Amino acid sequence: MGRRNDHTRKELKEMAIKAGVELIEERGFQNFSIRKVAAKIGYSAGTLYNVFENSDDLVFHINSVTLDDLQNYIETKLDQELKGVEAIKRMGDRYIEFAHEYNSRWNALFEYRRPLDSELPQWYLLKLNSLFAIVEKLLLPFVHGDIESAKRVAKVLWGGVHGICSLGLTQRMGQDGTELLKTLANSLIENYISGLTQAKE
C-alpha cells in the first residue's frame, strides 16, 4: 500500500467525476455510492476523501457537469432565429427532453432535499444562476427592459416548467408522455406571458 502518485489531485478529481456521471447514467442514482466510484477508478474509497469533502461534495461536482451539459443542450439546440415567446417555449421543450433523455442524472440534480436551513455550495448556485440568466435575457423585451421584473418572471417560468416536468416524469400527474408535458409547458409559457403583458397595458 502507500503512495502511488499515478495521478495528480486534479486528475483524480476529474476521473471520479467522470466515473460518477457514468455510474449514475448506467445504473441510476439509487445505485450510486462513493465506494463504487472509487472501485470504478481503481482507488480505495478513502482516497476520494483526500479530494472531496464527502459524498455530497462529489455529487455536487457530478451535478455541476450535468448542469453544464443541460445548458449546452439548451443553447445549441436553441434556434437563433426564434424570438421572444417562441424561443422560451423552445427552451421549455429542451428542458423536458433533457430531463427525459438523461433522466438519472437529471434526477440526481434534485436528490438533495435537505432541511430548510442547509445551504447549497456557492459555486453551485452561480451555475444555476447562469441558467436562469438565459431566460431573463429573453424576457427583457416583455418587461420594458426592467431586469428585476425579468428575474421574477424567469423564476415563475423556470419553476413552472420544472414543476410540470418533475411531476410529469415521476408519474405524479398520470401517464403523460414527454409530448404532452411539452404541450403543458408551452401552454404555461404562452398564456402566462400573454396574461402578464395584457395586465401591463
Binding-site ranges for a second copy (CB under 8 A): 28-30, 100, 103-104, 107, 110-116, 119-120, 125, 128, 132, 152, 155-156, 158-174, 176, 184, 187-188, 190-196, 198-199
Q: Does the footprint of DNA cover residue 43 (CB under 7 A)? A: yes
**Helices and strands (H, E) in the chain, number of each type:** 9, 0
Q: Does the footprint of DNA cover residue 118 (CB under 7 A)? A: no
Q: Does the footprint of DNA cover residue 30 (CB under 7 A)? A: no
Toward a second copy, which CB reaches closer, 72 or 187? 187
Angle among Cα 61, 108, 161 to the nearest 5 degrees reads 110
Q: Does the footprint of DNA cover residue 34 (CB under 7 A)? A: yes
> Which one among 22, 30, 44, 72 touches DNA, defined by CB under 7 A?
44
- Please, what is the end-to-end C-alpha distance for the chain in angstroms? 73
Q: Tell me how long the chain is.
A: 201
State the binding partner of 141 from a second copy, DNA, none, CB within 5 to 8 A by kind. none
- Separation CA 108–CA 41 (nearest Å): 21
Smallest distance, DNA to C-beta of residue 23, A:
10
Q: Which three cell numbers stand for residue 168?
A: 410529469
Q: Does the footprint of DNA cover residue 28 (CB under 7 A)? A: no
Toward DNA, which CB reaches closer, 112 or 163? 112
Provide the Cα torsion 123, 121, 128, 60; round to 10°. Answer: 100
The DSSP annotation for 2-57 comes to: -----S-HHHHHHHHHHHHHHHHHHH-GGG--HHHHHHHTT--HHHHHHHSSSHHH
Q: Does the footprint of DNA cover residue 1 (CB under 7 A)? A: yes
Smallest distance, DNA to C-beta of residue 65, A:
18
Toward a second copy, which CB reaches closer, 41 or 154? 154
**What does the binding site for DNA look like in residue numbers (CB under 7 A)?**
1-7, 9, 12, 32-36, 42-47, 49-50, 54-56
